Amino acid sequence: MFLVEIISAVVYGFIESDSLQISVVRGGIDIGATIVAILQPTLTGWAATLALVAANGFVFFFGFSWGPVVWVLHGEMFPNRIRAIAPSVSASAQ
């Protein structure tokens, strides 16, 4: 899983030049597809392999679409006078 997170961070660096909205919408579609693939009634044989691939896909797609949104939010939602300290306090309180 750690390797998948690293790869998604690198991919996010390339995709960031595009619109963030496109990235989030596309990531949401892909995340939904991986959840549907994981929610099989029985996980034996090929379905187990599919669930494993889908779980890694979920981590990957979340890493370059919805994952960074939290850090953008923390940096933008506070007024300028407390912007230096507020994101660190809010991130530690998660």
**CA-CA distance, 3 to 22, in Å (whole number)?**
24
Q: Is residue 80 part of a domain?
A: no
Q: What is the pLDDT of residue 27?
A: 81
Q: Is residue 15 part of a domain?
A: yes
How many domains are there within the chain?
1
Residue 14 pLDDT exceeds 70? no
Q: Is residue 72 part of a domain?
A: no
8 versus 60: the higher-pLDDT residue is 60
Distance between alpha carbon 94 and the CA centroid of its chain, in Å? 16
Which structural domain range is residue 58 located in?
Answer: 2-66
Q: Is residue 57 part of a domain?
A: yes
Question: In this predicted model, what pLDDT tens digit does every residue of 22-81 receive, in sequence order?
Answer: 777 888 888 888 888 888 777 788 888 888 888 888 888 888 788 777 777 777 788 888
Q: Is residue 88 part of a domain?
A: no
- State the DSSP string of 30-79: HHHHHHHHH--S---THHHHHHHHHHHHHHHHHHHTTTTHHHHHHHHSS-
Q: Is residue 36 part of a domain?
A: yes
19 versus 47: the higher-pLDDT residue is 47
Q: What is the pLDDT of residue 59?
A: 87
Q: Is residue 76 part of a domain?
A: no
The structure's pTM equals: 0.63
Q: Is residue 21 part of a domain?
A: yes
Q: What is the pLDDT of residue 74?
A: 74
